[in-house]
Amino acid sequence: MTILKNEKDLVVPGEVLAEGLDYLPGYGAFREGDKILSKNVGIVSIRERNVGVTALSGRYMPKAGDKIIGEVLDVQMSTWFLDINSPYQASLSIGEASEEYVERGADLSRYFDVGDVLYAKIISVSKHKNIQLTMKDIMCKKLRGGKIVNITPSKVPRLIGKAGSMITMIKEKTGCNIVIGQNGRVWIKGENEDLATKAVSMVDEKSHTDGLTSRVTEFLDANPTVKTATKTDYVEGDVNAG
Amino acid sequence: MRDDGRANEELRELVIKAGVFKNAEGSAYVKMGNTVAVAGVYGPRELFPKFLQNAEKAHLKCRYNMAPFSTKDRKRPGQDRRSQEISKVIADALEPVIFTKEFPKVGIDIYIEILQGDAGTRCAGINAASVALADAGIPMRGLVAAVAAGKVDGDYVLDLTYNEEEKTKADVPVAYAPSLKKVTLLQMDGDLSHEDVRNVINVAIKGCEKVHEAQVEALKNKYREVTL
Protein backbone atom coordinates (compact mmCIF):
# COMPACT_ATOMS: atom_id res chain seq x y z
CA MET A 1 0.00 0.00 0.00
CA THR A 2 2.86 2.32 0.70
CA ILE A 3 5.94 3.55 -0.99
CA LEU A 4 8.97 3.27 1.24
CA LYS A 5 11.58 5.19 -0.71
CA ASN A 6 11.79 8.70 -2.09
CA GLU A 7 12.80 9.76 -5.57
CA LYS A 8 16.62 9.77 -5.92
CA ASP A 9 17.26 7.56 -2.88
CA LEU A 10 20.30 5.31 -3.18
CA VAL A 11 19.31 1.64 -2.99
CA VAL A 12 21.05 -1.76 -3.25
CA PRO A 13 19.74 -5.07 -4.63
CA GLY A 14 17.01 -6.59 -2.48
CA GLU A 15 15.98 -3.35 -0.85
CA VAL A 16 12.19 -2.94 -0.53
CA LEU A 17 10.94 0.02 -2.59
CA ALA A 18 7.19 -0.31 -2.08
CA GLU A 19 4.64 -2.59 -0.49
CA GLY A 20 1.21 -3.61 -1.69
CA LEU A 21 -0.27 -3.89 -5.15
CA ASP A 22 -0.80 -0.17 -5.78
CA TYR A 23 2.59 0.16 -7.44
CA LEU A 24 4.20 -1.61 -10.39
CA PRO A 25 7.83 -2.64 -10.73
CA GLY A 26 9.57 -0.63 -13.45
CA TYR A 27 13.11 -0.86 -14.83
CA GLY A 28 15.57 -2.26 -12.31
CA ALA A 29 12.86 -3.51 -9.96
CA PHE A 30 10.94 -6.76 -9.48
CA ARG A 31 8.02 -8.06 -7.49
CA GLU A 32 8.49 -10.60 -4.71
CA GLY A 33 5.21 -11.47 -2.99
CA ASP A 34 3.46 -8.16 -2.35
CA LYS A 35 6.68 -6.18 -2.25
CA ILE A 36 8.62 -4.36 -4.94
CA LEU A 37 12.38 -4.81 -4.59
CA SER A 38 15.38 -3.25 -6.27
CA LYS A 39 17.53 -5.27 -8.68
CA ASN A 40 20.53 -2.97 -8.81
CA VAL A 41 22.67 -0.52 -6.95
CA GLY A 42 21.06 2.65 -8.17
CA ILE A 43 18.82 5.66 -7.78
CA VAL A 44 15.07 5.30 -7.22
CA SER A 45 12.83 6.82 -9.87
CA ILE A 46 9.07 7.03 -9.46
CA ARG A 47 6.82 7.64 -12.48
CA GLU A 48 3.23 7.68 -11.29
CA ARG A 49 2.57 4.03 -10.36
CA ASN A 50 5.88 2.73 -11.69
CA VAL A 51 8.74 2.37 -9.25
CA GLY A 52 12.10 1.74 -10.87
CA VAL A 53 15.80 1.95 -10.21
CA THR A 54 18.35 3.62 -12.49
CA ALA A 55 21.48 1.49 -12.17
CA LEU A 56 24.81 3.14 -11.44
CA SER A 57 26.84 0.42 -13.16
CA GLY A 58 26.40 -2.53 -15.47
CA ARG A 59 26.71 -3.61 -19.07
CA TYR A 60 24.55 -2.34 -21.91
CA MET A 61 21.57 -4.54 -22.76
CA PRO A 62 20.43 -3.99 -26.35
CA LYS A 63 16.89 -2.76 -26.93
CA ALA A 64 15.03 -2.28 -30.22
CA GLY A 65 15.00 1.36 -31.31
CA ASP A 66 18.24 2.31 -29.55
CA LYS A 67 20.85 4.15 -31.56
CA ILE A 68 24.27 2.83 -30.77
CA ILE A 69 27.91 3.23 -31.74
CA GLY A 70 29.44 -0.03 -32.93
CA GLU A 71 32.76 -1.18 -34.26
CA VAL A 72 32.94 -3.56 -37.22
CA LEU A 73 34.53 -6.84 -36.15
CA ASP A 74 33.97 -9.01 -39.18
CA VAL A 75 32.82 -8.71 -42.79
CA GLN A 76 31.05 -11.70 -44.34
CA MET A 77 29.23 -12.51 -47.58
CA SER A 78 26.20 -10.37 -46.88
CA THR A 79 26.58 -9.17 -43.30
CA TRP A 80 28.80 -7.22 -41.00
CA PHE A 81 29.29 -8.17 -37.37
CA LEU A 82 29.62 -5.32 -34.92
CA ASP A 83 30.81 -5.01 -31.37
CA ILE A 84 28.20 -2.84 -29.63
CA ASN A 85 29.71 -2.73 -26.13
CA SER A 86 27.32 -5.40 -24.87
CA PRO A 87 27.80 -9.13 -24.22
CA TYR A 88 26.23 -9.87 -27.60
CA GLN A 89 27.42 -9.11 -31.12
CA ALA A 90 25.10 -7.35 -33.53
CA SER A 91 24.70 -8.02 -37.23
CA LEU A 92 24.07 -5.57 -40.01
CA SER A 93 22.88 -7.09 -43.27
CA ILE A 94 23.59 -5.58 -46.66
CA GLY A 95 19.96 -4.73 -47.28
CA GLU A 96 19.89 -2.58 -44.17
CA ALA A 97 23.17 -0.86 -44.97
CA SER A 98 22.93 0.35 -48.52
CA GLU A 99 20.24 1.52 -50.91
CA GLU A 100 22.16 0.55 -54.01
CA TYR A 101 22.19 -2.83 -55.74
CA VAL A 102 25.07 -4.99 -54.62
CA GLU A 103 26.32 -7.79 -56.87
CA ARG A 104 26.41 -11.28 -55.37
CA GLY A 105 29.88 -11.95 -54.00
CA ALA A 106 30.85 -8.29 -53.99
CA ASP A 107 33.48 -7.22 -51.51
CA LEU A 108 31.51 -5.57 -48.71
CA SER A 109 34.59 -4.05 -47.15
CA ARG A 110 34.37 -1.18 -49.62
CA TYR A 111 31.31 0.01 -47.70
CA PHE A 112 32.40 -0.73 -44.15
CA ASP A 113 35.66 -2.44 -43.26
CA VAL A 114 36.89 -4.09 -40.08
CA GLY A 115 37.63 -1.38 -37.51
CA ASP A 116 35.16 1.14 -38.90
CA VAL A 117 32.96 2.88 -36.36
CA LEU A 118 29.26 3.17 -37.18
CA TYR A 119 26.36 5.02 -35.65
CA ALA A 120 23.51 2.56 -36.22
CA LYS A 121 20.02 1.79 -34.99
CA ILE A 122 18.85 -1.49 -33.48
CA ILE A 123 15.78 -2.79 -35.32
CA SER A 124 15.23 -5.99 -33.40
CA VAL A 125 16.49 -8.04 -30.51
CA SER A 126 15.30 -11.64 -30.42
CA LYS A 127 14.69 -13.71 -27.32
CA HIS A 128 18.06 -15.34 -27.82
CA LYS A 129 19.70 -11.97 -28.30
CA ASN A 130 20.19 -12.00 -32.05
CA ILE A 131 20.57 -8.32 -32.76
CA GLN A 132 19.75 -6.75 -36.12
CA LEU A 133 20.99 -3.28 -37.01
CA THR A 134 20.05 -0.79 -39.68
CA MET A 135 21.73 2.22 -41.23
CA LYS A 136 18.48 3.38 -42.82
CA ASP A 137 17.87 6.20 -40.44
CA ILE A 138 18.50 9.88 -40.94
CA MET A 139 21.09 10.01 -38.16
CA CYS A 140 22.96 6.82 -39.01
CA LYS A 141 26.39 7.19 -40.55
CA LYS A 142 29.98 6.08 -40.49
CA LEU A 143 32.00 8.05 -37.96
CA ARG A 144 35.35 9.09 -39.38
CA GLY A 145 38.27 10.13 -37.15
CA GLY A 146 37.66 11.48 -33.69
CA LYS A 147 37.85 9.42 -30.53
CA ILE A 148 35.61 7.10 -28.56
CA VAL A 149 34.96 7.49 -24.85
CA ASN A 150 33.14 4.83 -22.87
CA ILE A 151 30.71 5.77 -20.12
CA THR A 152 28.31 3.71 -18.02
CA PRO A 153 25.34 2.98 -20.35
CA SER A 154 22.71 3.77 -17.71
CA LYS A 155 24.14 7.29 -17.43
CA VAL A 156 23.55 8.19 -21.07
CA PRO A 157 20.29 10.09 -20.33
CA ARG A 158 22.19 12.14 -17.74
CA LEU A 159 24.88 13.05 -20.27
CA ILE A 160 22.21 14.19 -22.72
CA GLY A 161 20.33 16.10 -20.04
CA LYS A 162 16.79 17.41 -20.07
CA ALA A 163 15.93 18.14 -23.72
CA GLY A 164 19.64 17.80 -24.52
CA SER A 165 20.72 20.60 -22.17
CA MET A 166 23.92 18.98 -20.89
CA ILE A 167 25.31 17.77 -24.20
CA THR A 168 24.36 20.96 -26.07
CA MET A 169 26.26 22.92 -23.45
CA ILE A 170 29.38 20.73 -23.76
CA LYS A 171 29.24 20.97 -27.56
CA GLU A 172 28.89 24.75 -27.48
CA LYS A 173 31.66 25.29 -24.95
CA THR A 174 34.17 22.99 -26.64
CA GLY A 175 33.09 23.29 -30.26
CA CYS A 176 33.39 19.52 -30.69
CA ASN A 177 31.16 17.22 -32.66
CA ILE A 178 29.74 14.72 -30.21
CA VAL A 179 27.65 11.64 -30.96
CA ILE A 180 26.22 9.63 -28.09
CA GLY A 181 25.25 5.98 -28.47
CA GLN A 182 22.73 4.49 -26.09
CA ASN A 183 25.29 1.76 -25.46
CA GLY A 184 27.54 4.11 -23.50
CA ARG A 185 29.92 4.98 -26.30
CA VAL A 186 30.55 8.63 -26.99
CA TRP A 187 32.27 9.78 -30.15
CA ILE A 188 34.06 13.11 -29.92
CA LYS A 189 35.76 15.01 -32.73
CA GLY A 190 37.07 18.53 -32.75
CA GLU A 191 39.79 20.89 -31.60
CA ASN A 192 39.11 20.50 -27.89
CA GLU A 193 38.68 16.74 -27.81
CA ASP A 194 40.56 16.31 -24.53
CA LEU A 195 38.54 18.92 -22.72
CA ALA A 196 35.27 17.46 -24.00
CA THR A 197 36.44 14.01 -22.92
CA LYS A 198 37.10 15.29 -19.42
CA ALA A 199 33.67 16.87 -19.25
CA VAL A 200 32.01 13.64 -20.43
CA SER A 201 33.94 11.59 -17.87
CA MET A 202 32.96 14.07 -15.18
CA VAL A 203 29.28 13.50 -15.95
CA ASP A 204 29.88 9.74 -15.83
CA GLU A 205 31.56 9.82 -12.41
CA LYS A 206 29.23 12.30 -10.76
CA SER A 207 25.98 11.43 -12.49
CA HIS A 208 24.05 10.88 -9.25
CA THR A 209 24.82 14.29 -7.75
CA ASP A 210 22.74 17.46 -7.90
CA GLY A 211 23.56 20.62 -9.84
CA LEU A 212 25.81 18.79 -12.25
CA THR A 213 25.14 20.93 -15.33
CA SER A 214 26.29 24.10 -13.57
CA ARG A 215 29.40 22.37 -12.25
CA VAL A 216 30.33 21.08 -15.70
CA THR A 217 29.79 24.61 -17.06
CA GLU A 218 32.13 25.97 -14.39
CA PHE A 219 34.71 23.32 -15.25
CA LEU A 220 34.57 24.13 -18.94
CA ASP A 221 34.73 27.88 -18.34
CA ALA A 222 37.79 27.44 -16.12
CA ASN A 223 39.68 25.63 -18.89
CA PRO A 224 40.91 27.39 -22.02
CA THR A 225 39.57 26.17 -25.34
CA VAL A 226 41.52 26.32 -28.58
CA LYS A 227 38.88 28.30 -30.40
CA THR A 228 35.24 28.95 -29.87
CA ALA A 229 33.40 27.25 -32.66
CA THR A 230 29.95 28.16 -33.82
CA LYS A 231 29.36 25.03 -35.86
CA THR A 232 26.40 23.01 -34.76
CA ASP A 233 26.69 20.05 -37.08
CA TYR A 234 26.02 17.20 -34.73
CA VAL A 235 23.84 14.18 -34.21
CA GLU A 236 21.90 13.75 -31.03
CA GLY A 237 20.77 10.62 -29.23
CA ASP A 238 17.22 10.03 -28.06
CA VAL A 239 16.63 12.04 -24.91
CA ASN A 240 13.95 9.89 -23.40
CA ALA A 241 15.34 6.46 -24.21
CA GLY A 242 17.25 4.40 -21.65
CA MET B 1 33.48 -16.17 27.09
CA ARG B 2 35.47 -17.07 24.02
CA ASP B 3 39.21 -16.98 23.41
CA ASP B 4 39.12 -13.58 21.79
CA GLY B 5 36.67 -12.13 24.34
CA ARG B 6 33.64 -12.17 22.05
CA ALA B 7 30.11 -12.97 23.13
CA ASN B 8 28.73 -16.23 21.75
CA GLU B 9 26.64 -14.62 19.06
CA GLU B 10 29.05 -11.85 18.17
CA LEU B 11 30.80 -11.51 14.82
CA ARG B 12 34.50 -10.90 14.46
CA GLU B 13 35.65 -7.44 13.40
CA LEU B 14 33.95 -6.98 10.01
CA VAL B 15 35.25 -4.68 7.29
CA ILE B 16 33.63 -4.57 3.85
CA LYS B 17 34.60 -2.30 0.97
CA ALA B 18 32.99 -2.17 -2.45
CA GLY B 19 34.72 -1.23 -5.70
CA VAL B 20 38.33 -1.72 -4.59
CA PHE B 21 39.77 -2.62 -8.00
CA LYS B 22 39.73 -0.53 -11.13
CA ASN B 23 40.06 -3.21 -13.80
CA ALA B 24 37.31 -5.61 -12.75
CA GLU B 25 33.76 -4.50 -13.45
CA GLY B 26 32.85 -5.11 -9.83
CA SER B 27 35.00 -5.84 -6.82
CA ALA B 28 34.94 -6.06 -3.06
CA TYR B 29 37.17 -6.55 -0.04
CA VAL B 30 35.97 -8.42 3.03
CA LYS B 31 37.79 -8.84 6.32
CA MET B 32 36.24 -11.02 9.00
CA GLY B 33 38.71 -11.02 11.89
CA ASN B 34 41.88 -12.51 10.45
CA THR B 35 40.17 -13.92 7.38
CA VAL B 36 40.66 -11.65 4.39
CA ALA B 37 39.02 -12.19 1.00
CA VAL B 38 38.84 -10.12 -2.17
CA ALA B 39 36.56 -10.74 -5.11
CA GLY B 40 36.42 -9.46 -8.67
CA VAL B 41 33.55 -9.88 -11.10
CA TYR B 42 33.63 -9.69 -14.90
CA GLY B 43 30.63 -9.82 -17.14
CA PRO B 44 28.13 -10.57 -18.37
CA ARG B 45 30.42 -11.26 -21.32
CA GLU B 46 30.68 -13.67 -24.22
CA LEU B 47 31.30 -17.18 -22.98
CA PHE B 48 33.94 -19.57 -24.28
CA PRO B 49 34.28 -22.53 -24.77
CA LYS B 50 31.05 -22.40 -26.66
CA PHE B 51 29.60 -25.67 -25.33
CA LEU B 52 29.20 -24.02 -21.93
CA GLN B 53 26.77 -21.50 -23.40
CA ASN B 54 23.20 -21.98 -22.30
CA ALA B 55 20.50 -20.56 -24.57
CA GLU B 56 18.21 -20.04 -21.56
CA LYS B 57 20.42 -18.37 -19.01
CA ALA B 58 23.84 -17.05 -18.12
CA HIS B 59 26.59 -19.41 -17.00
CA LEU B 60 28.06 -18.55 -13.63
CA LYS B 61 31.74 -19.32 -13.34
CA CYS B 62 33.37 -19.08 -9.96
CA ARG B 63 36.99 -19.53 -8.99
CA TYR B 64 37.95 -19.66 -5.33
CA ASN B 65 41.67 -19.55 -4.70
CA MET B 66 43.87 -19.32 -1.63
CA ALA B 67 47.10 -17.34 -1.79
CA PRO B 68 50.24 -19.36 -0.97
CA PHE B 69 50.83 -17.12 2.04
CA SER B 70 47.28 -17.33 3.37
CA THR B 71 47.91 -20.17 5.84
CA LYS B 72 50.51 -21.12 8.47
CA ASP B 73 52.09 -23.78 6.26
CA ARG B 74 52.61 -22.52 2.75
CA LYS B 75 49.70 -23.49 0.59
CA ARG B 76 50.72 -25.12 -2.66
CA PRO B 77 49.51 -22.65 -5.28
CA GLY B 78 46.84 -23.60 -7.75
CA GLN B 79 43.51 -25.34 -7.81
CA ASP B 80 43.07 -28.44 -5.72
CA ARG B 81 40.18 -30.67 -4.80
CA ARG B 82 39.14 -28.46 -1.89
CA SER B 83 39.14 -25.20 -3.85
CA GLN B 84 37.22 -26.79 -6.70
CA GLU B 85 34.51 -27.92 -4.33
CA ILE B 86 34.31 -24.53 -2.66
CA SER B 87 34.17 -22.80 -6.05
CA LYS B 88 31.20 -24.95 -6.95
CA VAL B 89 29.27 -24.39 -3.70
CA ILE B 90 29.89 -20.65 -3.87
CA ALA B 91 28.54 -20.51 -7.44
CA ASP B 92 25.50 -22.50 -6.31
CA ALA B 93 25.02 -20.20 -3.32
CA LEU B 94 25.01 -17.10 -5.51
CA GLU B 95 23.05 -18.33 -8.51
CA PRO B 96 19.57 -18.16 -6.87
CA VAL B 97 19.85 -14.40 -6.40
CA ILE B 98 21.11 -13.53 -9.88
CA PHE B 99 18.69 -12.89 -12.74
CA THR B 100 20.58 -15.30 -15.00
CA LYS B 101 17.65 -15.60 -17.40
CA GLU B 102 18.08 -11.98 -18.44
CA PHE B 103 21.40 -12.88 -20.03
CA PRO B 104 21.10 -15.96 -22.24
CA LYS B 105 24.30 -17.44 -23.67
CA VAL B 106 26.74 -15.29 -21.70
CA GLY B 107 29.05 -15.95 -18.80
CA ILE B 108 29.53 -14.15 -15.51
CA ASP B 109 32.96 -14.70 -13.97
CA ILE B 110 33.60 -14.43 -10.25
CA TYR B 111 37.16 -14.59 -8.96
CA ILE B 112 37.68 -14.94 -5.22
CA GLU B 113 41.14 -14.72 -3.70
CA ILE B 114 41.73 -15.56 -0.05
CA LEU B 115 44.63 -13.42 1.13
CA GLN B 116 44.59 -14.67 4.71
CA GLY B 117 42.76 -17.64 6.15
CA ASP B 118 41.52 -18.03 9.70
CA ALA B 119 38.44 -20.23 9.19
CA GLY B 120 35.30 -19.13 7.40
CA THR B 121 37.05 -18.45 4.11
CA ARG B 122 34.12 -19.67 2.01
CA CYS B 123 31.81 -17.36 3.94
CA ALA B 124 34.12 -14.38 3.49
CA GLY B 125 34.37 -15.35 -0.18
CA ILE B 126 30.58 -15.38 -0.61
CA ASN B 127 30.26 -12.03 1.17
CA ALA B 128 32.88 -10.49 -1.09
CA ALA B 129 31.49 -12.04 -4.27
CA SER B 130 27.96 -10.90 -3.54
CA VAL B 131 29.04 -7.28 -3.00
CA ALA B 132 31.24 -7.47 -6.11
CA LEU B 133 28.31 -8.72 -8.21
CA ALA B 134 26.13 -5.84 -7.05
CA ASP B 135 28.99 -3.43 -7.71
CA ALA B 136 29.30 -4.80 -11.26
CA GLY B 137 25.67 -3.83 -11.86
CA ILE B 138 24.41 -7.37 -12.34
CA PRO B 139 20.65 -7.54 -11.61
CA MET B 140 20.11 -9.45 -8.37
CA ARG B 141 17.19 -10.43 -6.16
CA GLY B 142 19.24 -9.35 -3.18
CA LEU B 143 22.61 -9.78 -1.57
CA VAL B 144 23.83 -13.04 -0.07
CA ALA B 145 25.45 -12.94 3.34
CA ALA B 146 27.29 -15.88 4.84
CA VAL B 147 28.74 -16.81 8.19
CA ALA B 148 29.59 -20.05 9.98
CA ALA B 149 28.31 -21.18 13.37
CA GLY B 150 29.06 -24.15 15.59
CA LYS B 151 28.81 -25.61 19.04
CA VAL B 152 31.71 -25.24 21.45
CA ASP B 153 31.47 -26.53 25.05
CA GLY B 154 27.69 -26.66 24.90
CA ASP B 155 27.33 -23.09 23.59
CA TYR B 156 26.21 -22.08 20.13
CA VAL B 157 28.87 -19.76 18.78
CA LEU B 158 28.95 -17.57 15.70
CA ASP B 159 31.77 -16.86 13.24
CA LEU B 160 34.31 -19.46 14.35
CA THR B 161 38.04 -18.82 14.26
CA TYR B 162 40.52 -21.52 13.31
CA ASN B 163 41.16 -22.39 16.97
CA GLU B 164 37.44 -22.67 17.68
CA GLU B 165 36.95 -24.79 14.61
CA GLU B 166 39.35 -27.32 16.16
CA LYS B 167 37.23 -27.49 19.32
CA THR B 168 33.75 -27.36 17.84
CA LYS B 169 31.53 -30.41 17.54
CA ALA B 170 30.47 -29.22 14.10
CA ASP B 171 31.15 -26.28 11.87
CA VAL B 172 28.11 -25.12 9.89
CA PRO B 173 28.61 -22.48 7.19
CA VAL B 174 25.32 -20.87 6.16
CA ALA B 175 24.68 -18.46 3.29
CA TYR B 176 21.43 -16.56 3.49
CA ALA B 177 19.63 -14.11 1.21
CA PRO B 178 17.76 -11.75 3.59
CA SER B 179 15.59 -10.23 0.84
CA LEU B 180 14.18 -13.65 -0.11
CA LYS B 181 14.47 -15.15 3.39
CA LYS B 182 16.15 -18.17 1.84
CA VAL B 183 19.20 -20.21 2.77
CA THR B 184 21.37 -20.69 -0.32
CA LEU B 185 24.25 -22.65 1.21
CA LEU B 186 24.20 -25.08 4.10
CA GLN B 187 27.09 -27.37 4.87
CA MET B 188 28.07 -29.21 8.03
CA ASP B 189 31.39 -30.65 9.03
CA GLY B 190 30.89 -32.76 12.17
CA ASP B 191 28.16 -34.28 14.27
CA LEU B 192 25.19 -32.52 15.83
CA SER B 193 21.81 -33.57 17.15
CA HIS B 194 18.60 -32.59 15.39
CA GLU B 195 17.87 -29.82 17.83
CA ASP B 196 21.43 -28.50 17.75
CA VAL B 197 21.41 -28.25 13.96
CA ARG B 198 18.26 -26.16 14.07
CA ASN B 199 19.67 -23.85 16.73
CA VAL B 200 23.03 -23.50 15.03
CA ILE B 201 21.33 -22.54 11.76
CA ASN B 202 19.23 -19.93 13.54
CA VAL B 203 22.33 -18.44 15.16
CA ALA B 204 24.04 -18.34 11.76
CA ILE B 205 21.04 -16.67 10.09
CA LYS B 206 21.03 -13.94 12.74
CA GLY B 207 24.73 -13.46 12.00
CA CYS B 208 24.03 -13.28 8.26
CA GLU B 209 21.57 -10.46 8.83
CA LYS B 210 24.29 -8.47 10.60
CA VAL B 211 26.74 -9.17 7.77
CA HIS B 212 24.04 -8.08 5.27
CA GLU B 213 23.73 -4.70 6.97
CA ALA B 214 27.48 -4.19 6.58
CA GLN B 215 27.30 -5.18 2.88
CA VAL B 216 24.52 -2.67 2.21
CA GLU B 217 26.48 0.01 4.02
CA ALA B 218 29.63 -0.78 1.99
CA LEU B 219 27.79 -0.48 -1.34
CA LYS B 220 26.15 2.79 -0.37
CA ASN B 221 29.42 4.22 0.94
CA LYS B 222 31.05 3.80 -2.45
CA TYR B 223 28.65 6.37 -3.91
CA ARG B 224 28.39 8.61 -0.86
CA GLU B 225 32.12 9.29 -1.06
CA VAL B 226 31.77 10.70 -4.56
CA THR B 227 28.86 12.93 -3.55
CA LEU B 228 30.94 14.80 -0.98
Q: Taking CB atoms and an 8 Å cut-off, how many pairs form between chains A and B?
A: 95
pLDDT at position A225 is: 72
pLDDT at A236 over 60: no
- Contact list in B for residue A127 (CB cut-off 8 A) is 104
Average pLDDT over every residue of A210-236: 71
Lowest mean pLDDT among A200-204, A212-216, B52-56: A212-216
pLDDT band at B226 (very low <50, low <70, confident <90, very high): low
- How far apart, in whole angstroms, are the C-alpha atoms of residue A195 and residue A171? 11
Our CA dihedral for A123, A125, A130, A135, rounded to 10 degrees, sits at 20
Whole-angstrom CA distances from B213 to B7, B35, B146, B210, B216 are 19, 19, 12, 5, 5
B101 contact A CB<8A: no
What digits encode the pLDDT tens for the residues B87-134?
999 999 999 999 999 999 999 999 999 999 999 999 999 999 999 999
- Contact list in A for residue B182 (CB cut-off 8 A) is none
Domains (range + CATH), chain A: 10-55 (2.40.50.100), 67-143 (2.40.50.140), 147-222 (3.30.1370.10)
B137 contact A CB<8A: yes
Angle of the A193-205 helix axis to the A165-174 helix axis, nearest 10:
150
* Mean pLDDT (chain A, rounded): 88
CB contact under 8 Å between B137 and A37, yes or no, is: no
pLDDT at A164 over 50: yes
Whether residue B148 contacts residue B160, with contact meaning beta carbons closer than 8 Å, is answered with: yes
- Contact list in A for residue B135 (CB cut-off 8 A) is 41, 57
pLDDT at A175 over 80: yes
Whole-angstrom CA distances from A152 to A146, A221, B182, B212 are 20, 25, 32, 26
Which residues of chain A from 119 to 148 reach within 8 Å of chain B, CB to CB? 127-129
- How far apart, in whole angstroms, are the C-alpha atoms of residue A135 and residue A149? 22
Lowest mean pLDDT among A215-219, B6-10, B94-98: A215-219
Whether residue B226 contacts residue A209, with contact meaning beta carbons closer than 8 Å, is answered with: yes
pLDDT band at B156 (very low <50, low <70, confident <90, very high): very high
pLDDT at position A242 is: 36
CA distance to partner chain B, nearest, from residue A46 (Å): 19
Percent of chain A with pLDDT over 90: 60
- How far apart, in whole angstroms, are the C-alpha atoms of residue B55 and residue B153? 51
Whether residue B134 contacts residue A42, with contact meaning beta carbons closer than 8 Å, is answered with: no
CA distance to partner chain B, nearest, from residue A209 (Å): 6
pLDDT at B185 over 70: yes
Percent of chain A with pLDDT over 70: 93
Total-model pTM: 0.90
CB contact under 8 Å between A13 and B178, yes or no, is: no
Average pLDDT over every residue of A119-131: 94
Average pLDDT over every residue of A124-143: 92
Q: How large is the C-alpha radius of gyration of chain A?
A: 20
B97 contact A CB<8A: yes
pLDDT at position A227 is: 58
CA distance to partner chain B, nearest, from residue A12 (Å): 7
Q: Name the residue with higher pLDDT: A218 or B38.
A: B38
pLDDT band at A241 (very low <50, low <70, confident <90, very high): very low
CB contact under 8 Å between A57 and B46, yes or no, is: no
pLDDT at position B82 is: 96
Nearest in space to A62 (alpha carbons), one of A96, A88, A97: A88
Whether residue A33 contacts residue A50, with contact meaning beta carbons closer than 8 Å, is answered with: no
Characterize the bridge pairing of strands A131-134 and A117-125. antiparallel
pLDDT at position A105 is: 80
Percent of chain B with pLDDT over 70: 98
Average pLDDT over every residue of B34-40: 97
Nearest in space to A137 (alpha carbons), one of A231, A63, A237: A237
A211 contact B CB<8A: no
The count of C-alpha atoms lying within 13 angstroms of the C-alpha of B87, restricted to the half-sphere facing its C-beta, is 19
pLDDT at position B107 is: 95
* Mean pLDDT (chain B, rounded): 94
pLDDT at position A226 is: 65
Average pLDDT over every residue of A197-215: 87
Residue-range domain boundaries for chain B: 14-227
A74 contact B CB<8A: no
A212 contact B CB<8A: no
CB contact under 8 Å between A41 and B134, yes or no, is: yes
- Contact list in A for residue B106 (CB cut-off 8 A) is 87-88
Task: State which residue of chain B sits closest to A212, comparing Cα positions.
Answer: B227
pLDDT at position A1 is: 64
Conformation bin of residue B108: beta by default, left when phi > 0, alpha when psi is -120 to 50: beta
pLDDT at A228 over 70: no
Among B43, B46, B220, select the one facing A12 at the smallest CB separation: B220
Among A12, A128, A129, select the one facing B143 at the smallest CB separation: A12
- Predicted-complex ipTM score: 0.90
pLDDT at position B225 is: 63
Which residues of chain A from 30 to 69 reach within 8 Å of chain B, CB to CB? 30, 32, 37, 39-41, 55-59, 61
Q: What would the CATH number be for the domain defined by B14-227?
A: 3.30.230.70
